[in-house]
Structure 1
Amino acid sequence: MKIAIAQINATAGDLKGNAAKIIEQAQQAQAAGATLLLCPELALSGYSPEDLLLRDDFNLACDRALYALARELPGELTVIVGHPRKYLGNRYNAASVLQAGQVRQTYHKELLPNDSVFDEVRYFSEGNQPLVINHQGCKLGIVICADVWAPEPARRARDAGAEVLLVLNASPYHINKQQERHAVVRDRIRETGLPVVYANLVGGQDELVFDGASFVMNDEGALVQQLPSFEEMLGMVSFSRGAPEPAEIHPVPELEDAVYKALSLGFRDYVLKNNFPGVLLGLSGGIDSALTLAIAVDALGADKVQAVMMPSEFTASISLEDARAMASALNVRYSEIAIGPVFESFCTALAPEFAGKPFDIAEENLQARVRGTLLMAISNKFGKMVVTTGNKSETAVGYSTLYGDMAGGFALLKDVSKTLVYQLAKYRNQISPVIPERIIVRAPSAELRHGQTDQESLPDYAVLDGIMEAYVEQDKSWEDILALGYREQDVLRVTRLIDRNEYKRRQAPVGVRVTQRGFGKDRRYPLTNRYVFNEIV
């Protein structure tokens, strides 16, 4: 028996395009001698269609696409495809068995995740029946994604006679996610004694990125095959006497490599799937915009990226020099627009209102808003999407300007802490030195007043990022964060800044999620909120 894994990049709502990918994979699988093709979760509709699922017309279109797909598949190949299904008044996250032009059997996902970025309970009803199919003398049990994260669905499949477990997945990436998947699947194998074929989606969908890395484990929990991460591939799994034969194991990328690939893939898919002709960003001579530019070029190609340097009287000469050097190294279109005249005209208009008031954060933010306005004007004129350059640390504590450096269509580094920004910059320079070393070693600054540095306004980034991770990503208590060794005044300052700036984050563009909890779908705090984190009730 030979099973093919279709590790494809599906797009939400693109029923024709997703079906075409499945048909192409099916043709290749049959040509390679496979008798069954396993597709990812909701491969036909893309994951996740979200509130499209609440539309009757969308559900009807999915049904029609499923039956049309069955008719167009190679006749001798069995295909298991994930899709939404509306049945007897309920909606299900389903997997159907397609054979000889027909939809033969359908399985309904039993366990619906309703935490983190998942809200499947909003859309689907739970299934309650196992599905085991006979294929070439072997009984194959079918489950979907979250079903394998708890014992019951796999046990029910085994009790129904399954000898191999097939798992359809749309499991999004975050740091160290593959190790978690391996551990969970090994638990199910230990409980059931069944080998597992795990097919995962790949590609970007809004802020989520799916990393593929589909894999196969034998009945002892040993990894015997693994597909590449962050790329489409048709994998072939050969079975002998009910056991998967060893094949190539593509290693999981190391931390910086994996995050860089995730950011590149998520960004590229967002730009291309939404048909933007290109992107532009403000290049400041600082580390964040430098890394953003490098990723943008690697993801899209230099011809689709424009960098705009917008100096002011506070811009250091080395910032201009480094911005020019990097733009030249990456061969992108580069422009310089001095903001001084525009800024002065704003100040003149505001002079009666600001009379008697010193230069302060209002004028600092005004510079950022001038830059945002200029970038959006270029975007409107040429259709290019503005990419913001702020990182997760700045986003957390509000070290950013609404309608200024937050203005744009995609926040590439939205879930990347400042310390990780430096790690990624050094990683990228190991491939080829495109980020000037001076950008990496100099003290970060917004350059909105003379002599300004980030650390005048914020704790050291190592401290800020450690507290942010504990508070935002791990939901640790006040006592638990203090137990990590941070000073009480730093914990109080950072956590209060995080809570106080939720209103800004609600207005920020989407960005690629790479941690266990990003700002967006993951963390939903009320804007009007009087809870005091360190207050003992």
Structure 2
Amino acid sequence: MLRIAIAQLNPIVGDVAGNLWKARNARREAAEKGADLIVFSELFLAGYPPEDLVLRGSFQEACLTALNELVAETGDGGPGVLVGLPYREGDKLFNSVALADHGELIGIRHKVELPNYAVFDEKRVFHPGPLPGPLGFRGVRLGVPICEDIWTDEVSECLAETGAELLIVPNGSPYERRKIDIRMQMALARVVETGLPLIYANQVGGQDELVFDGGSFGLAADRMLAFQMPQFTEEVTLTAWRRGEDGWALSEGPFVTLADQVSADWQACVLGLRDYVDKNRFPGVVLGLSGGIDSALCAAIAVDALGPQRVHCVMLPYRYTSSESLKDAQECARALGVRYDTVPIGEAVEAMERMLAPLFAGHPSDVTEENIQSRVRGTTLMAISNKFGSMLVTTGNKSEMSVGYATLYGDMNGGFNPIKDLYKTEVYNLARWRNANRPDGLFGPAGTVIPENVIQKAPSAELREGQRDQDTLPPYDILDAILEGLVEKETSAADLVAEGFEADTVKRVQKLLYVAEYKRRQAAPGVKVTSRHFGRDRRYPIVNGWRDAV
């Protein structure tokens, strides 16, 4: 019998002492459960991804010191430890795992396949390791491919050929839609090729724009799902394995049902915001509550993440703010139980207009005056943030950020955006879903938290009389479908026209997408949920003369 504890935990990048403390507590819990070995996620002592922080010699030394302390502590006769850290050998720095038991360092293994695509750029900071052999642990030969190592066949096959009996995979795999299915496919392919059972241990938690969803699992040698841990929660879970004539098989382990995609998206947005606020030690958040769908959804996410006592909503009305919006914002704040204040901006807007009047004389009013309103709101909210220390949440959706339907230094002000990677149609879907659902582990109330009128009414920035979004943009169902093609799929404009979209509309959306790049570069970070998040995923030049022919 081999009892293996999976530590699905939430480390903080750079907090080596805090991560070591987490490891100690987890090991203590694993010992109480009777574990022989506890497995931590990729680069656990450093936190993942450490990016260029990992190049600092003092940081590498701190991680090594933490490892040495853990190694010494295994001399107490409790569980052995398999833990990730950056490890230097000579002039080469590796993404590594260390195995310790009975007070000794049994061995180090280095990651071979370094991902260098999408959100990953590990080749920037690490050297690839040599093909590994198994590590001996209490009479069992453990193969330890690290994360990307199982996305190709070479490392796992090498481990099987050199005598590994069980594959244990420490991971730092971030959330995106349908990612858990892809992980399962990759792991299954390795089991098929090697004939070995596999344990997939993933971290959980938010790190900047990435959210790690956990969802650790195991596959038996017969390719069946052996155990499944939940997503978006920290857990130390015990699995028990028995060696039989056909190798190792699971005899004990958890089996949970995973959330559907909409629920997973919501929990990713909540966890991403919570960890960004908490890990950066903000006391809470402030946001402008306009009476519109985007700010209402962000307020609901913030309350679910932090609790109503840490969320401050502010209405900033001007002459174009409708009585309907005032009523909807107040009703939303009441449903969520948050502090709600009203700060009229008329005096500040009109003072700005008077100040600029001599310079603007002879020029008709246009979008400039509209943007003054937005920038006064942004400045006001930043002042509240500065005064009370709460982080300003910005509330623009992916549709708006795609086409530049946002005001730089106005409604784009803020420290973090939980809906940055959600198109407008998805915002509506999530609002309806949250009114009907409340997953476990959230701080917000059950029931209707976003007033139905907010969902039903036509969206408007309310920067001029009678303004509606659709006066400027195509209907959101059409806009989002075109954007999904241009952004997520890199579909050509001609192919989109061939799919049935109007040529003029595609051409206009493509132009808006490209010319708004400079705004996106200055936008707040926000949670990644799609495969083409603006920022780490999609990196287009600001100066860009390319346009697809239609």
- TM category (shorter chain) comes to over 0.9
Cα distance between partner residues in 2 of 1:248 and 1:67: 32
Match of 1:67 in 2: 68
Match of 2:441 in 1: none
The answer to which of 116-125 and 494-503 deviates more is: 494-503
Q: Check conservation: 1:4, 1:37, Cα contact below 8 A.
A: yes
| CA positional deviation for 1:76 | 3.2
Match of 1:392 in 2: 398
Counterpart pick for 1:469 among 463, 484, 501? 484
Cα distance between partner residues in 1 of 2:432 and 2:448: 9
Cα distance between partner residues in 2 of 1:205 and 1:520: 14
Cα distance between partner residues in 1 of 2:364 and 2:147: 58
Q: Check conservation: 2:95, 2:110, Cα contact below 8 A.
A: yes
| CA positional deviation for 1:454 | 0.6
Instruction: Give the counterpart letter for 1:185 in structure 2.
Output: A
Counterpart pick for 2:172 among 166, 170, 173? 170
Counterpart pick for 1:198 among 192, 197, 200? 200
1:268 aligns with 2:274: yes
Provide, for residues 140-169 of structure 1, a one-character-per-residue CA deviation record: whole Å limited to 9, x for no partner: 100100001101011011011111110000
Please state whether the residue corresponding to 2:145 is helix, strand or coil: strand
Cα distance between partner residues in 1 of 2:281 and 2:78: 37
1:478 aligns with 2:486: no
| CA positional deviation for 1:248 | 2.9
The answer to which of 477-486 and 100-109 deviates more is: 477-486
Counterpart pick for 1:254 among 256, 260, 269? 260
Match of 2:286 in 1: 280
Cα distance between partner residues in 2 of 1:276 and 1:31: 35
Match of 1:99 in 2: 101
Cα distance between partner residues in 1 of 2:36 and 2:498: 56
Provide, for residues 47-85 of structure 1, a one-character-per-residue CA deviation record: whole Å limited to 9, x for no partner: 011111121111122111211222234533211001111
Cα distance between partner residues in 1 of 2:49 and 2:77: 29
Cα distance between partner residues in 2 of 1:121 and 1:97: 24
Counterpart pick for 1:507 among 522, 528, 533? 522
Q: Check conservation: 1:218, 1:244, Cα contact below 8 A.
A: yes
| CA positional deviation for 1:125 | 0.3
Match of 1:90 in 2: 92
Provide, for residues 172-203 of structure 1, a one-character-per-residue CA deviation record: whole Å limited to 9, x for no partner: 00011101111111111111111110000000
Provide, for residues 426-449 of structure 1, a one-character-per-residue CA deviation record: whole Å limited to 9, x for no partner: 111013101110000101000000
Q: Check conservation: 2:317, 2:344, Cα contact below 8 A.
A: yes
Cα distance between partner residues in 2 of 1:278 and 1:290: 17
RMSD over aligned CA atoms reads 1.2
| CA positional deviation for 1:30 | 1.5
Cα distance between partner residues in 1 of 2:390 and 2:283: 6
Cα distance between partner residues in 1 of 2:511 and 2:32: 60
Please state whether the residue corresponding to 1:234 is helix, strand or coil: strand
Provide, for residues 111-142 of structure 1, a one-character-per-residue CA deviation record: whole Å limited to 9, x for no partner: 00000000000000001131312334432100
Q: Check conservation: 2:237, 2:254, Cα contact below 8 A.
A: no
Provide, for residues 294-315 of structure 1, a one-character-per-residue CA deviation record: whole Å limited to 9, x for no partner: 0001100111110000011101
Counterpart pick for 1:218 among 217, 220, 234? 220
Match of 1:409 in 2: 415
Shift of the 135–103 alpha-carbon distance from structure 1 to 2, 3 Å rule, reads closer
Provide, for residues 211-242 of structure 1, a one-character-per-residue CA deviation record: whole Å limited to 9, x for no partner: 00000011122112110100000111111221
Match of 1:31 in 2: 32
1:371 aligns with 2:386: no
Instruction: Give the counterpart letter for 2:213 in structure 1.
Output: D
Instruction: Give the counterpart letter for 1:377 in structure 2.
Output: A
Q: Check conservation: 2:239, 2:254, Cα contact below 8 A.
A: no
1:58 aligns with 2:73: no
Cα distance between partner residues in 1 of 2:163 and 2:452: 61
Q: Check conservation: 1:67, 1:102, Cα contact below 8 A.
A: no
Cα distance between partner residues in 1 of 2:215 and 2:291: 36
Match of 1:109 in 2: 111
Match of 1:141 in 2: 143
Shift of the 136–57 alpha-carbon distance from structure 1 to 2, 3 Å rule, reads closer
Given the two structures, how large is their TM-score scaled by the length of structure 1? 0.98
| CA positional deviation for 1:358 | 2.0
Match of 2:299 in 1: 293
| CA positional deviation for 1:246 | 5.8
Q: Check conservation: 1:107, 1:129, Cα contact below 8 A.
A: no
Q: Check conservation: 1:85, 1:91, Cα contact below 8 A.
A: yes
Provide, for residues 402-435 of structure 1, a one-character-per-residue CA deviation record: whole Å limited to 9, x for no partner: 0000011111211111111011101110131011
Show structure 2 runs of 5+ residues with no match. Answer: 438-446
1:337 aligns with 2:358: no
The answer to which of 319-328 and 128-137 deviates more is: 128-137
The answer to which of 491-500 and 396-405 deviates more is: 491-500
Q: Check conservation: 2:494, 2:548, Cα contact below 8 A.
A: no
Cα distance between partner residues in 2 of 1:480 and 1:115: 25
Cα distance between partner residues in 1 of 2:291 and 2:173: 37
Cα distance between partner residues in 1 of 2:82 and 2:507: 52
Instruction: Give the counterpart letter for 1:60 in structure 2.
Output: E
Match of 1:328 in 2: 334
Match of 2:210 in 1: 208
The answer to which of 423-432 and 476-485 deviates more is: 476-485
Provide, for residues 68-110 of structure 1, a one-character-per-residue CA deviation record: whole Å limited to 9, x for no partner: 2222345332110011111111110000001122322000000
Q: Check conservation: 2:510, 2:547, Cα contact below 8 A.
A: no
Percentage of pairs with the same residue: 49
Instruction: Give the counterpart letter for 1:297 in structure 2.
Output: V
| CA positional deviation for 1:479 | 3.6
Given the two structures, how large is their TM-score scaled by the length of structure 2? 0.95
Match of 2:190 in 1: 188
Provide, for residues 337-366 of structure 1, a one-character-per-residue CA deviation record: whole Å limited to 9, x for no partner: 111111110111111111122221001111
